[in-house]
Amino acid sequence: MDVAYARSGDVHVAYHVIGDGPVDLVVSSGAITNLEVMWESPEYRRFYERLGSFARVLLFDKRGMGLSDRVRLGTLEERMDDVRAVMDAAGSDSAALMGISEGGPMSILFAATYPERTRALVLCGAEVKEETTDDWPWGEATREEFEQYIGLDNVVARWGKGLVADHIVPSRKGDEDLRRWFGRLQMQGASPPEAVVFMRMAFEIDVRNVVPSVNVPTLIIHREGDHVCHVGNARWLAQHIEGAKYVELPGEDHVPWVDGDEIVAEIQEFLTGVREPSEPDRVLSTLLFTDVVRSTERAAALGDARWRDLVERHHDAVRRELTRFRGREVDTAGDGFFATFDGPARAIRCARSIVDAVRPLDLEIRAGVHTGEVELAGDSVRGIAVHTGARIAALADANEVLVSGTVRDLIAGSGIDLAERGIHRLKGVPGEWRVYAVAP
């Protein structure tokens, strides 16, 4: 197999292209990956070669795994960056995304955030939320069960033995060749400590708030007896993605490439019938609002001329940080800024940098970050998510960055520490909102 590398920031992401069909299909696999080891499996190879008969299939190793740079494992936001880098390197302006298992949440987030680059979304055995809770009975485990399983000593004792094969492919239970292959994939994909970090991060992800923002043609395929990802995930997705086609197949295996002919046939029928999507008018976006604290008092103390000069210096400082973190300025009202980002972690880090950048000017700001679906109207952005972000920012104290619960659910693994600031009712916004403060 021929492996190429895409540059995503400072990280090299390994990818492999199969076929040359008219439709590009980017596959985000679940759990541990290694392109070379996976290609050794005849069933795996046959499945993707069949997809390659009608599409140009792009397979890649997640950052931190397999043949990609063995750096810190990436957040959802960084993994979206990696997908864009692979698409750019392969010359793909727009592609269908196929999210398998844990690759589902990233694919959902990508499709909602970048509809202009997402021709279609295919979710196969895809999860929504791993943790079983009172409001989500279809998870893989409760937090208590997960903590009992995830101990490093337990993972080290199992790693490389491929025992997970019986759980992932129950139709082949006891197949020693398959166990050995899975064991080799584990050893060549990631070390036990890296695997623990990845599994912990995956366990914290919850994309329920993002799913209704998906506005691209979507196919959901799930086996009714899937032992890893409960079929309830798929049925919920089918109910919450408008216009999605749902196909429920018999069987218990989690991976699509075992007895996958019917899955390939469904994907082929779906993709080859898809028309070019129209220009999107609604997308998922992360919104940042900032405002100078006690600005009226400062303006009165300084006088109009000196205050105008200070505001210009403040604006220059804010715009430098927006450029650094790839934010887009939408509006500036007085001493406040409204900007959008394609990822919540980047918006949070920008907000913290703005706090530091204006401190030498003897200014204090408050900031709020929220992720939600917005309506595009030329260069402006509008919708209930805009009001939500602005209201959250208004709750912040001096030099404080507050975020919504939606943002909290999307930044697992980012290293950003949050402290709960309670449940609030936001003026003009329905419902109650849990708010978190970002640690300095």
Map the chain to HEC letters.
CCCEEEEECCEEEEEEEECCCCEEEEEECCCCCCHHHHCCCHHHHHHHHHHCCCEEEEEECCCCCCCCCCCCCCCHHHHHHHHHHHHHHCCCCCEEEEEECCHHHHHHHHHHHCHHHEEEEEEECCCCECECECCECCCCECHHHHHHHCCHHHHHHHCCCCCCHHHHCHHHCCCHHHHHHHHHHHHHHCCHHHHHHHHHHHHHCECCCCHHHCCCCEEEEEECCCCCCCHHHHHHHHHHCCCCEEEEECCCCCCCCCCCHHHHHHHHHHHHCCCCCCCCCEEEEEEEEEEECCHHHHHHHHCHHHHHHHHHHHHHHHHHHHHHCCCEEEEEECCEEEEEECCHHHHHHHHHHHHHHHHHHCCCEEEEEEEEEEEEECCEEECHHHHHHHHHHHHCCCCCEEEEHHHHHHCCCCCCCEEEEEEEECCCCCCEEEEEEECC
Q: Tens of pLDDT along 244-265?
A: 999 999 999 999 999 999 999 9
Whose tokens are 């329920």? That residue is: 208
Let me know how long the chain is. Answer: 440
Asked if residues 31 and 102 have their Cβ atoms less than 8 Å apart, the reply is yes
Residue 219 identity: L
The domain defined by 282-438 carries CATH number 3.30.930.10: no
| pLDDT score recorded for residue 279 | 61
Q: Which two tokens stand for residue 175?
A: 């197949």
Kind of pairing between the strands at 11-18 and 336-341: unpaired
Burial label for 322, CB within 10 Å (0-12, 13-18, 19+), is: buried
Residue 36, burial from CB neighbour count under 10 angstroms (0-12, 13-18, 19+): middle
pLDDT at 334: 82
User: By C-alpha distance, which of 214, 190, 213 is closest to 202?
Assistant: 190
Q: Tell which residue, 272, 249, 289, 253, has the closest CA to residue 386.
A: 289
Statement: the pTM of the whole predicted model exceeds 0.85? yes
Listed in order, the ranges of the chain carrying CATH 3.40.50.1820 are 4-272
**Distance between CA atoms of residues 31 and 434, nearest Å:** 30
Predicted local confidence at residue 278, as pLDDT: 57
Superfamily of domain 4-272 in the CATH hierarchy: Alpha/Beta hydrolase fold, catalytic domain (3.40.50.1820)
pLDDT for res 378? 76
What is the residue-level pLDDT of the chain in tens, covering all 440 positions? Answer: 799 999 999 999 999 999 999 999 999 999 899 999 999 999 999 999 999 999 999 999 999 999 999 998 888 999 999 999 999 999 999 999 999 999 999 999 999 999 999 999 999 999 999 999 999 999 999 999 999 888 888 889 999 999 999 999 999 998 999 999 999 999 999 999 999 999 999 999 999 999 999 999 999 999 999 999 999 999 999 999 999 999 999 999 999 999 999 999 999 999 997 555 556 678 999 999 999 999 888 888 889 899 999 999 999 999 999 999 999 999 998 889 999 999 999 999 999 999 999 999 999 999 999 999 999 877 789 999 999 999 999 999 999 999 999 999 999 989 999 999 999 999 989 999 999 999 98
- List, by residue range, all CATH 3.30.70.1230 domains of the chain: 282-438
